Each structure stands twice: as C-alpha cells, then as structure tokens.
Amino acid sequence: MMKRNILILIILAALILPVATLAAKLETATIDDLNYSFFDDVATVEASTYRKSVLTIPPAVSYNGRVYTVEAIAPNAFKSNTYITKVELPSTLLTIGTSAFQGCRVASINLPFGLTDIGSYAFASTYLTYVTIPTTAVGLGSHIFYNCQRLTGASVLSNIGTLPSYMFYNCVNLTTVTLPSMLTGIGDHCFMRCNNLRAVPSTSSMTTIGASAFEHCPLIDEVELTLNIEKIDSRAFADNAQITSIVVRPMTPPTLASDAFDKEVMRNAMTVVPTGTKSLYKRASVWASFGKLREVDEVIIRGDVNDDGSIDSSDVSILMEIILAGTGGEINLAADVNNNGTIDSTDLATLLEIVLEQQR
C-alpha cells in the first residue's frame, strides 16, 4: 500500500512540476516601458511597443523586491519597430532571439562580449552600417544580417567553424569583412548579392565554400582559393562573368561543382595552380575544363596572342581579327596588351609599337 502511495505521489509531482515551471516563466511585468518575463534570477525582454529612438536595456531589473539579471531578448521582441534607431545592450546579455530586431531602423548597436547566441533574422532588414560580432558569440542562426542594405562593414570575431547561410545576403553596400582566423567554412548564400564586395573574404583555415556563397558579386574580379580549401559547392561564384583571375593554392585539386563558376569564366579566366600540379588539375573532374590553366612559374607574355612564345606580325594579325570579330572576351589574356581589362584598338596600337621596336 505504501509503495502504491509513493508511486502516486511521484506521478502527481511529475504532472504538477511542468505546470508550476510554466507559471513561473509566464510571470511578466512592465518596467520603464519594457516588458519582461522572469524565471529564477533571470529576466528576458519580451515583445514590446517601445516608442523611443534610443533603446537602452539595463543589466538588471527589480521586481517584487527581487533583482533579476537581464540575460535574453525574446524572439520578435522589437520586430518591425520603426521608432528605434539606436540600441544599447548590457554586458549581462547572453541571447538575442530570432527576428528580435528584424525590420527596425536600428543604425547602431553594440554586441557585448559575453553574448553567446544570435537567432536567425535577428537584425535582418535593419539600418545597421557596421557591426562587430564578439568572440563569445558561437551560436549564430541563419539570415542574421539578411538584406541590411546600409551595412558597409562587418568584423566577425566569433569562434565559429562556419559562417551561417544567408548571413550577409543582399547586403548591397558591404565592402569589407573581417573573419576569424580559425573559420573553416562559408555557408550557402552567405555573401550572395553583395554588390560592392571587391574581394573574397577568406582564411588560411578555410576548407569549404557553400552553394551560391558569392553568387552575383559583380565587383569581384579575382578569386583566391586558400591552401586548405577542399570543396567548392554549386554556384559558389556563379553570375560573376567579370572574374578574370583565379589563384588556386591547394596542391591537391579541391572538389569543384561543375557550375561553381560561369562557363565563360572557366574558359577565359587565367587560373594559376601550384608548381608541379598542372597535370593533376588537368586530370581532375571539372578543373580539366578550365581553358587557361597555368602553374605559378608560367609567365603570361602580353602581346603573344597566339601563345607561341614570341611577339611578331602574326600576333598583330590575330589581334586585328579578334577586335573586328568582337570576340575579345574569348581569347588569351595576352591579347590585353596594355593590361587595362579590355581588348580594343589601344591594344593593337601598343602591339604594333612593340613589333616595330623589335624590328629597329
């Protein structure tokens, strides 16, 4: 009988405890225009109709004679709040929830050291111009700065392995990005449609570049694949016909998706591989399709249009045909004699001067 009563008590406790816990979590209060929920000694900033331009979240709040440390901002807490333009966060903050500031006009924010988690879409479509993610923030969701069209720079200090997918998608004014040295991967669509990004952010530890990671970044004309790169996924550098130079550091050809680069880039971009590895790359899947594969000790001779090792009248004739046919984008970079990125009559004039000088 006693065993039966004990069993009943255990069952009742198991049923009652979640209800009590839920009740504790749902206890809320409004303090200085901000809504909070309380549990144990921790306060979470909840959804609020805050109507001031500067949002200052305190490190602690008092409620019913008890002090609670503010450690979290709930999901959607300030989503689409168009009043807020500046946010000041406490050093006690650990978590920023999903879409917490999405759609706000926030132009300035400090992400404190100690912050560990930033939810998906947390700052999507905001007015941020620069952001620094501290080393402690290791739990990063996707789309964090999605469509932040005023963002010009970012410093990611976080000790994470891979940048999340869509992290900087459509940040059309992003120009500079600092990455942590131990970063090994860039997530899918991470920098897609970053129209003002001029260089591919990378690290020596990088092993993977995700699908569409740098798709449609029209100012990137040179790509360097660092020493430890192992895999480049589908459309990683697609829709970037302006790429004219690819420097490949790995001694072993990385796995490369067949559509990682545009076909015309694969045909025309000068692709440099380490000394002694050209034959490996020529036998490797996809890499064999690159039309201008050279080792680092191979030199491009400007003006040697037919690539026969010398510059003479035959190069002049071929260059004239190329210009008249309008096929400059499909020939060797040696045809860009004056090295200005285009192939036109100025290259022909320069080449003629070179040939005439040799005949004197």
What confidence tens digit (pLDDT) does each residue in 167-204 have?
999 999 999 999 998 999 999 999 999 999 999 999 98
Radius of gyration of the chain (CA): 29
pLDDT of 309 over the 70 cut: no
Q: Is the pLDDT of residue 327 over 60?
A: no
Q: What is the pLDDT of residues 75-118, one digit of tens each?
A: 999 999 999 999 999 999 999 999 999 999 999 999 999 999 99
pTM above 0.85, yes or no: no
Name the fold adopted by 161-298: 3.80.10
- The two structure tokens encoding residue 180: 């942590």
pLDDT of 296 higher than 90: no
Amino acid at 82: T
Both tokens assigned to 215: 């798709």
What long-range pairs does 148-154 form, CB within 8 A, spacing at least 24?
148/123, 148/124, 149/173, 150/107, 152/176, 152/196, 153/129, 153/177, 154/130, 154/178
- Name the β-bridge partners of 87: 55, 109
What residues form DSSP beta bridges with 334?
A: none
Pick from 100-114, 122-136, 297-311, 341-355: least confident:
297-311
Higher-confidence position of 42 and 49: 42
The one-letter code for the residue type at 45 is V
Contact in structure between 296 and 275 (CB atoms under 8 Å): yes
For residue 151, the SS3 value is coil
Check residue 355 and give its pLDDT: 80
Q: Give the residue with greater pLDDT, 238 vs 23.
A: 238
Coil, helix or strand at residue 225: strand
pLDDT beyond 60 at 1: no
In the chain, which segments carry CATH 3.80.10.10? 161-298
